[in-house]
Each structure stands twice: as C-alpha cells, then as structure tokens.
Structure 1
Amino acid sequence: MDYEPSESKVRCLLIRIPLVALIATACHVAGCGTLGPASVQRDRTDYGTVIATTWKEQTLLNIVKLRYGDAPVYLEVSSVISSSAMESQVSLGANWFSGLPIDGNSQSIGASGRYTDRPTISYTPLSGERFSRYLLQPLSPAAVFSLVQAGYPVDRVLQLTTRAINGVYNRSTSPARARAADPRFYQLLEALRRIQRSESLGMRINQRMSDESVLVIVTRDVSEKVENDRHAVREILHLRPDTSELKLTFGMVQRDDTEIALLTRSMSEIFLELAATIEAPPLHMQEGRANPAPAAPDPASPWDAPLVRIHSSAERPADAYAAVHYRDYWFWIDDRDMKSKSEFLFILVLFSLAETGVAPQAPVITVPAN
C-alpha cells in the first residue's frame, strides 16, 4: 500500500530541521556565555609576558648602542586598553506553495558572527626631566642600602652601584673612567659578604634630612671570625669602632669617622660599565665602529669578571634569555648563565628604583563595555 504524506506533515518536517539548526548555530556563535572573564584571563598573561620581554630587549639594545656610541632610546608602555566585542546574528526564512509535490517549497537559514579586538597601547618616550631622573641622576645612598636591608647580596649591590665608599674606589671599565679597583675595595666586599651570610649584622635606615640618612647598625654576639671581619670593615672605611649610628651621605670622602660617604653611579654609568665588556664582533673592533675593550687588570681578580656576559653572533642564538638584532649581528645573554641573568634582572630592579619624585598621573579613559 503506497503512503503519500499529507501537506501538513511535510510542513512540520520542513520546519523542524531548520529550528534545530537555528538553536545549535545561535549557541555556537554567541558562545552561550560572556566574553569579559575569558578575555581577562587571556589578555593579562599575554600582555604581561610581552611587556616583560620587550623591557629586557629594550634595555639590552640600549646597552649595546652605548658600546657603539649610539644614542639610547627608551619608550615606556604607559597604558594598555583592550576593547573586545562579539556580535552574532541568526536568520530563518521559509516559503510554501499551496500544492504538492514538496519540490516547490523553499527554506533558508543563515548565521553570521563577528569578533573585534581593538587594543590601544600608549608609549611614552623618556625625555626631559624624567630622562634626567632615570639615567643621569646618581642613585640615592639610602636606596642602595635599602636593597641590602631587603636581602639583596651586599657585595653585588655595592659592586654594581658604587664608584667609591669613603674614598676607596671600585673598578671602572667605561672609557671615560677606566681604572683598576683599589685592592681594599674587594677586601671590603668579601668581608661584608661573610658578615651578611652569618646573619650577625642588622641595619635600618632613618631619614634625617633630604640629603642625609642615618644607618643604624644592630649587632649581636658573633664568632671571632665575624668579629675580625667587622673590625676590617671599620678599618678600611676609617669608622669609629664603638659607634652604632653612621651618617649616610652622597660624596667622595667622609667628613668624620661616623660617616659613610657613598659615591654612587647613575643608571647611565651602570649601562656604560656593562657596555664596555660586551663581546663585540672582531670586525667591528678592527674597523673602529665600537669602543675598544678595557684592558685586563694586573693582577687579575675574580671580581674583575664581567658583571653580565653579553655575546655576539652572526646567527640568531637558539637558547637566549634576551636577544636583540643590531648592525647585522645578534647580541644576547645565554639562558644558561644564571649569574648574568640574575645580575641583569637586578639592573631592571635598579632601573625602576631610579625613578624619584611624584609619578605622573595617567589620563582617565572610559571604554564602553560590549
């Protein structure tokens, strides 16, 4: 017996299929949720990673430029505004004719979606007064000892940030100030490092005037070896043996035996020190395109090794902590060189610490929520 579907049943069949597709398509396009929380999880990590990476690369590039006598350029990412929007649209249409066969009927279904991401990133060039504060102004002696108080190794902090302590000079590799270190300076660093590791020396900094702080030394009973180191430190720096409060000032020489005069470096000086020990390509050295390498000290000391080893190669390095391309060469820090990596990270911390005064207020921007 032949079965011929009625017109009403055919219509029900034709309508049911588009409706199922309509619901599935709408849920797929709209995501059956909101875009906001997911974008925070994605964007915060991605933007943070990229900003940190480019910060390292910009600092490394400017150090390399100083070796070649080029002007450094600093751009800060002052704001990142990400505005995202998702739009979806679903349409359904059907036409039926009065008679059979069903070939005369027509249906249509359509869906469309659009995703828009318009990030607004603002860059602020470092110039004028802010350039002077960041790069040309020497670090504050109180800020230097605050790093020691916070737990940073005292020998690394003083070797990197100071030119002299109470007239005892550090080594300099920059072309303008090239000189060997006073042997007592390295003795001072070694004694201070042993004292810090013994955890027998505590300190706090009290601000007294705008240009003077008081370094309060807190001591306890120590072993004979540590006591000898403490005596050696006071002897090298010509400090009174019985005082526990020392004035902390910026200067070349001390005014009396209760003062620590710290001749600190600026960030520009620190960058020049690092630039002088870059392993520049021999061809550039022969052609006079880069400043010559500093002479090796005699006698040599482990303290005279480069603070950060920056290599160069014609090919892009496969395993680099930070790498920049400059004058057809790659300059990079090896990711397996933990000493150079930690020192470079410390320099980035110092760069942030060099900012003084009132921070400029960022403009208030209203972004519509989509």
Structure 2
Amino acid sequence: MPTVPGYPRVSRFFKMAALTTTLATSACMPFGTRLLQDDQVDYARALVFAQKRQTLANIVGLRYAEPAVVLPVSQVIAAYSLDGSANAAAALSTQNNAPTTGSIGGGIGYATRPTFTFTPLTGEDFANAYSRPLAPSLVLPLVQSGVPIDVLLRLAVQSIGSLQNSAALSGANNAGSHGFFELLQALRRLQLGGFVAMRLEGSPQGNRIFMSIEVPAQASDDDRADAARVRELLTVPAGTTDIEVLYGVADESGSRVGIVTRSVIGMLTEVGAQIQVPPEDVASGATLATVGFLDIERRPVIIVHTGGKMPDNAYASIKHQRRDYWIEQTDFDSKFAFSVVQTLIALAQAGRSQPIPVVTIPAGG
C-alpha cells in the first residue's frame, strides 16, 4: 500500500480505493454458487407451472374436439454475465498539510439471457406416450405409493371386467355403470384400512400384476363386507386373496380379471367431458353435453371452472376462445387428482426417445 509521509488522508484514500477494487473484482467469486441455489428451484417450478398449463389447455381443447398438442421444454440454457469495475483518482499538493482531493468508484453489471428449446412430441413418440393405452403394470403399482385407488382407477381405467367407467362418446349411457363406482369406493375403504395392495411379478412373458385383498379375522364387519363385495363385483371366488389383473377382455375364470386402461388422450378427454361448459356451446354443436353423474358419485374427479371471475392465485389456469378456465387453489381433491394425471403423463413419456429437459447454468464467475 503506497504511503506519503505527512499525508495521512492520502494513505486512507489509497486504502479505500484498494478495498473498493477488491470488492468489485471479487464479487463474482460466489456468483455461480448463488445461481445454482436459486435457479435450480426456480426453473424447476417454472417447468412444473408450464406443464400444468399445457395439460389443462389440452383438457379444455379436447372438450371442443381440438387435437392435443404436446410441446415439452427439452432444454433450458441460462446465460449470465457479471461485470465489475473500480476506479480511483487523487490530486496531491506539495505543501505540508495542504488539502488533498480524490475520488473512488466502482460498479457491478448483471444480466441474464435464458434460452429455451421446445421439441414437439410427434410420430412414434406421441403414439407411445399419448395414444396407446397405459399398461396396467404402469398404473396399478401407484397404489403402493399411496395414490388413492379410486382416483387412480377413475382417471386411468375404462372398464374392469364388465363394469364400465364413464365414457363421453358412448351416447346416452355415458355415465358408466353403478357397480364400477361401487367397486372404487369399496376398494378405497379397504386401502385406507391397509387391506388391499398391488404386487408386480416378473416372468418370461412380461410383468404380471396382482391385486391382493387380505382382511384379517379381527377386522370389522364393514371391512369384511367390503372385501366380499369387491370379490362379487369382480366375479372371483369368495375368499380369493390374490387376483391377477390382465389387460383387455380376459378369460375371467378363477382368480383373474380383465381391465381396459385409457390412453393419456382418453384420460384427458374424459376429464374434459366433465367440465360444465356454457349451454350455448352445447346448443350450437361446438361441444357435447357434460357427462352425467350417477347418484353414487359425489363430484367430478377434477373440477375445472369457467365463467365468472378467475382468482389471481388459481392452481392452474388457461384462456381458451376468450374464456378463462381454472382449477381452484383451495380445491385439494382436484389438485391432487390433477397431480396424478401429471404423474401418469410422465410415466407414459418415460420410454420415449426425446431427451428430458436439461437445464444448463454456467457456474463460472
């Protein structure tokens, strides 16, 4: 540090100038670390928010017979720049104890220029992920993850044995069969009691999926009645504990039951068919009437609102044909079912060849 005898203020000035230079040039050292801490979470949340809007847009679009469009983000490049500068100037007098003048300064400039790459899902990838029925071995193990079995089956399954779920394009009887929803409710009560589970077994012919129903002797009469009713609705022998679930209309003799799952597009279509749209849209032929409900059902699996004032904090929202559609932030059941839809879509896309989103964040100073 330069010093001038008899000029203590000059010495202090140079010290301050050196400190300013050090701060400006070293500010970028922890910059990359801070970016990683903040942007990893922020970009992840932004991707989730975009995925929710895309899914809701497809649900509403399919309600009006528009094709589903899937445009996932395949890459995010977060480019940053940080520039620092410092300067110092002094004017010294040769007379002892004469006043000295000087100035110090510095600045830091920061800029971010993110680049997003979108890769449309088309061809075989689209067919595999969205058009083909979901495999039972992909859907049913979610029960073991705690997903409510009634929500899962209502979303992803079209029929179990002879019991039919609702179907928007099946004409006047599109509400489904009473037994299907009775089965779902009984299975949910058994799941809450810990009496139903899914088991996946590998074999040379492919994965086999089994539904186990075991109700101990000390269980309540209601639990035993639910187990008996489930076996009756599935037409398996009384007392059966392991029921093999096969895709399609299977030979249901013994302890096997056939199940027909929906494709992702089929699932989104059925969710959209439950949206209460303006009556004039139905009258004009722009869309079909809302799917009816049986007395055993309490509500649509996902309630999508339209008309009125959309809240600022909606869980998911889109605008379609100058109308707002949204899911309420305070509707936990709808939000949870929507998250199950997102999970099923992610599982359906898992085998496609397109890369998963990559976020590149330069960490250098």
Q: TM-score range by the shorter chain?
A: 0.7 to 0.9
Change (3 A) 1:358 1:277: closer
Distance 1:276 1:304, change over 3 A: farther
In 2, Cα distance between the equivalents of 1:358 and 1:55? 17
SS at 1:51's partner residue?
helix
Give the CA deviation at 1:243.
4.5
Unmatched tracts of structure 1, length 5 or more: 1-7
Q: Is the 8 A contact 1:76 1:125 kept in 2?
A: yes
Distance 1:97 1:148, change over 3 A: closer
Query: Alignment partner of 2:287: what SS?
Result: coil
Shift of 1:16: 3.9
Alignment-derived partner of residue 233 in structure 1: 230
Q: Which residue is equivalent to 1:355?
A: 349
Q: Contact conserved, 2:249 with 2:260, CA < 8 A, in 1?
A: yes
Matching residue of 1:180: 175
Asked which structure has the greater RCO (Cα within 8 Å, sep 6+), the reply is: 2
User: Higher mean Cα deviation, 75-84 or 230-239?
Assistant: 75-84
What TM-score, normalized by structure 2, do the two folds share? 0.84
**Which runs of structure 2 are paired with 1:125-140 in the superposition (5 Å)?**
125-140=120-135
Cα distance in 2 between the residues matched to 1:157 and 1:130 = 24
- Does structure 1 retain, via aligned residues, the 8 Å contact 2:7–2:97? no
Partner of residue 313, structure 1: 307
Q: Check the 8 A contact 2:21/2:85 in 1, yes or no.
A: no
1:172 to partner: Cα distance:
1.9
| TM-score for the superposition, normalised by structure 1 | 0.83
The number of residues matched between the two structures is: 359
Q: Which moved more, 1:310-319 or 1:158-167?
A: 310-319
Mark the CA change 1:366 to 1:261 in structure 2 (over 3 Å): closer, same or farther.
Answer: same
Aligned-residue RMSD, C-alpha: 3.3
The secondary structure found in structure 2 opposite 1:252 is coil
CA separation of 1:216 and 1:62: change in aligned 2, threshold 3 A:
closer
The runs of 5 or more residues in structure 2 that have no matched partner are none
Residue pair 1:67, 1:275 contacting (<8 A) in 2 also: yes
- What percent identity do the matched residue pairs reach? 28
Shift of 1:32: 7.7
Q: One-letter code of the match for 1:270? A: M
- 1:39 corresponding residue in structure 2: 35
Q: Distance in 2 between matches of 1:202 and 1:47?
A: 36
Measured against aligned partners, the alpha-carbon deviations of 1:96-132 in whole angstroms (never above 9, x if no partner) come to 68789979x9856443432233333322221112211
Q: CA deviation at 1:304?
A: 6.3
Could you say which structure has the larger radius of gyration? 1
Contact map agreement 2:157 2:262 (CA 8 A) in 1: yes
The aligned amino acid for 1:340 is S
Secondary structure, counterpart of 1:238 in structure 2: coil
Query: Match for residue 291 of structure 1?
Result: 287
Q: Mark the CA change 1:108 to 1:212 in structure 2 (over 3 Å): closer, same or farther.
A: closer
Say yes or no: does 1:79 pair with 2:75.
yes
Is the 8 Å Cα contact of residues 85 and 106 (structure 2) preserved in structure 1? yes
